[in-house]
Structure 1
Amino acid sequence: MQLLESAEQREIRAAVRSIVASYSHDWYVKRARDGLKVGELWEAIGESGFIGVNLPEEYGGGGMGIQELSIVAEELAAAGSPLLMLIVSPAICGTVIARFGTDEQKERWLPGLATGKTKMAFAITEPDAGSNSHNIATTGRRDGDDWILTGTKYYCSGADEADALLVVARTGIDEATGRARLSLFIVETPNAHLQMTVIPVEVTAPEKQFTLFFDDVRVPSTGLLGEADDGLRQIFFGLNPERIMSAAVSNGIGRFALDRGARYGKERQVWGAPIGTHQGLAHPLAESYVHVELARLMTSKAAWMYDTGLDAGEASNMAKFAAADAAIEALDRAIQIHGGNGMSTEYGLADAWGFARVLKIAPVSREMVLNYVSQHSLGLPRSY
């Protein structure tokens, strides 16, 4: 593993930074609060080839990896414009389709996912399953050559702007363990038997959250991704990228907060000196900078391990854990150095809190990360 980024990776970072500079944080926030999308930014990133930088070249992607896509996500967030669909569409769905899809499925979906002209949402979470995927109740049953999906999904990001959903459903039971056998299905939208209801959340983002109701949604045999009943194994090829990308977004939010906090510390003067002169304000920001940089290093390690084909489970979980904590800490301290202005809409910090805070919960809670580390890293007895 190289500790320093390659020249090509640095060029990607600079190019994305240049593109997003045309779209201010204020513009992003206003669009989100008005219930609008940020399609112009998405299209600009897609047209430059960065949305699908991790997808195979033969399908229009960049042929690179999650490390490069995480750079894109981090720079967008560092500019104050984090894009949740970048985690979901190319990182989760694109990765899984590229790995397990048939030639026809790859040809159908990957070119659009690579350019960003096609978006795909991921439907796994359920109201009564939470982090326990074995409790998924949405079922897929055979009906001739087709499949029928019935059930409810919860907190599906960006479902309203997706051309299709990658749905995780129960298709059988493992008689030896009693656990669910899962399968993955590509469900094109809109569908008359699929209803979406918005979940109001205190997150300033252009992507909305939805509850999905599958009322006997018919999926042709071509919609089954990979092998039936092998969905759990297939899912994990997308979940580590999801954790890595979430960490990258958190790192970007942390950088965004520290940049604004340091700028204010240099500009704001009290008693004849910049407030950043005082260690009581400077040291908390400096400490948060250390924490963000450490999280960035673990994120880079996790992405490199994933792209190299190594087991990236531990590193991905730890990157997500460290980055989420570092982002919230940096944001809180940047708000604090602003005093009352930290809560002012004009200074554009408090509006980032909801997005940063949710990344401590999703895509995997910090408690489940600690369960993983306790069991797999330390060899302690399983607690759940």
Structure 2
Amino acid sequence: MTAEESSVDIVRKATRELARKFDNDYWLEKDRKHEYPWEFVKTFAEGGWLGAMIPEEYGGIGLGLTEAGVMMSEIAASGAGMSGGSAIHFYVFPPAPIVRHGSEEMKREWLPKLARGEILMAFGVTEPTAGVDTSRIKTKATRIDGGWVVNGQKVWITNAQNAHKILLLARTSPRREDKPLHGMTLFFTDLNRERITVREIEKLGRAAIDSNELFIDNLEVGDDEVVGEVDKGFYYLLDGLNPERTVVGLEGIGLGRAALELATKYANDRVVFDRPIGKNQAVAHPLADAWIRLEAAELMCMKAAGLFDAHQPCGPESAAAKFLGAEAGWQACDRALSTHGGFGYAKEYHIERLWREVRLLRNAPFSQEMVLNYISTQVLGLPRAY
């Protein structure tokens, strides 16, 4: 690394080069066939990037959120979108509670395997009856000798078709009105298909990456599979949620940039009435506006990532990063689709795939409306509406 190069510059250059080995046609084929992009995952595993935020002592490379976020943005911007982003995302951020709160035995056994891509994990929090009110999950873990028995249901669980392990949130104590988020425990356990029925959900976009319903029936979990302390699981999730929100913003920005790159080329090449359509301000100005919004959103994302890396509070900034990145990405993809006119609907131009995938980010990991609820109450001090 030269004096002029930062770690961010190095990560951006290296991961951009790696991700762009897989072109838009590769991702279109994965989307059409609903095939998991194992070749892409293997390539990033061989480069050591799956362990981006896993400490070196556990087989990772110990990068900060800033560098990892840039990597994820470059993956999305390569044309991989959320099909490529999600494939790598689940190696980088869901393990955060294990890194920070798992037992030494748990970390030494599983983190190196995650970093090498030898196992795949799922993240089991969301439930159909609770929605964004995690305090009301119904999945319950009941005490038995030496461990727990878990029963319940989860929904929108990524990777469950292929995952070996699951980071699973369950109630271990009854919900209390004075402390509604207390009493939930995180378990890192086998995704045992004899006790967990996995049912895939057909969905609008990101077809290469499976989303699923889980039905958990008398799943036995050992005490050694508890992450941290019993009843404190939700608070440990925050170690993964704040960085995830920041990175979702950066992935949205990457998607927007991928679409903008395609739209700019098309606007230069497409000739109507004897002139490139990009010469028309009705085409050029929306694309220019999209670029400005993507750049501005990235500044908020990098601010949030910097605060996290400095071990400073970053809740509002992380929420704002997710909000702005998702909005800017969606707007860029939508305007890129409009730039292509009728061809925007054609799969061969790749815009409609990016457009379908970026729409997810306005709803997940939590909706834009919930971001506004959070900012209005926690930042502005307005009364809670829910």
Deviation at 1:175, TM superposition (A): 5.0
Q: Secondary structure at the match of 1:187?
A: strand
Alignment of 1:222-301 (within 5 A): 222-301=224-303
Superposed CA deviations along residues 205-251 of structure 1, whole A, max 9, x for unmatched, are 32111000110100111111110001121111111111112112111
Structure 1 partner of 2:39:
40
Which of 209-218 and 336-345 deviates more? Answer: 336-345
Contact 2:147 2:221 in 1 (8 A): yes
Deviation at 1:117, TM superposition (A): 2.3
CA distance in 1, matches of 2:289, 2:177: 51
Deviation at 1:343, TM superposition (A): 1.0
Q: Secondary structure at the match of 2:157?
A: strand
> Where does the alignment leave 5 or more consecutive residues of structure 1 unmatched?
none
Counterpart code for 1:118: I
Contact 2:141 2:149 in 1 (8 A): yes
Structure 2 partner of 1:59:
58
CA distance in 1, matches of 2:290, 2:252: 13
> Where does the alignment leave 5 or more consecutive residues of structure 2 unmatched?
none
Superposed CA deviations along residues 354-380 of structure 1, whole A, max 9, x for unmatched, are 210011000010010000000011110
Contact 1:124 1:167 in 2 (8 A): yes
Contact 1:29 1:204 in 2 (8 A): no
CA distance in 2, matches of 1:176, 1:157: 31
Deviation at 1:178, TM superposition (A): 6.4
Identity %: 35
Deviation at 1:58, TM superposition (A): 0.4
Contact 2:12 2:74 in 1 (8 A): yes
Contact 1:151 1:215 in 2 (8 A): yes
Structure 2 partner of 1:26:
25
Superposed CA deviations along residues 186-221 of structure 1, whole A, max 9, x for unmatched, are 121333111100111111332111000110100111
- Is the alpha carbon distance of 1:132 and 1:170 closer, same or farther for their aligned partners in structure 2, counting shifts above 3 Å? same
Structure 2 partner of 1:366:
368
Contact 1:87 1:246 in 2 (8 A): no
Q: Secondary structure at the match of 2:93?
A: helix
Note if 1:334 corresponds to 2:333.
no
TM-score, with normalisation over the residues of structure 1? 0.96
Alignment of 1:203-218 (within 5 A): 203-218=205-220
CA distance in 2, matches of 1:178, 1:78: 41
Contact 1:138 1:149 in 2 (8 A): yes
TM-score, with normalisation over the residues of structure 2? 0.95
CA distance in 1, matches of 2:206, 2:98: 30
Contact 1:29 1:205 in 2 (8 A): no
Residues matched between the structures, number? 379
Alignment of 1:343-354 (within 5 A): 343-354=345-356
Counterpart code for 1:189: L
Superposed CA deviations along residues 50-109 of structure 1, whole A, max 9, x for unmatched, are 1211110101111111211111111111011132133333212x2110000000000111
Structure 1 partner of 2:124:
123
Contact 1:33 1:204 in 2 (8 A): no
Contact 1:51 1:69 in 2 (8 A): no
Q: Secondary structure at the match of 1:200?
A: coil
CA distance in 1, matches of 2:74, 2:173: 42
Alignment of 1:316-331 (within 5 A): 316-331=318-333
Counterpart code for 1:150: N
Q: Secondary structure at the match of 1:150?
A: strand
Superposed CA deviations along residues 160-199 of structure 1, whole A, max 9, x for unmatched, are 1211000010000265626351000012133311110011
Cα RMSD (Å):
1.4
Superposed CA deviations along residues 247-299 of structure 1, whole A, max 9, x for unmatched, are 12111100001101111111111222211111111000000100111111111
CA distance in 1, matches of 2:163, 2:5: 33
Structure 2 partner of 1:142:
143
Q: Secondary structure at the match of 2:256?
A: helix
Structure 1 partner of 2:152:
151
Structure 2 partner of 1:200:
202
- Is the alpha carbon distance of 1:164 and 1:70 closer, same or farther for their aligned partners in structure 2, counting shifts above 3 Å? same
Which of 290-299 and 199-208 deviates more? Answer: 199-208
Contact 1:191 1:217 in 2 (8 A): no
CA distance in 2, matches of 1:239, 1:178: 20
CA distance in 2, matches of 1:369, 1:50: 30
Structure 1 partner of 2:171:
170
CA distance in 2, matches of 1:78, 1:64: 20
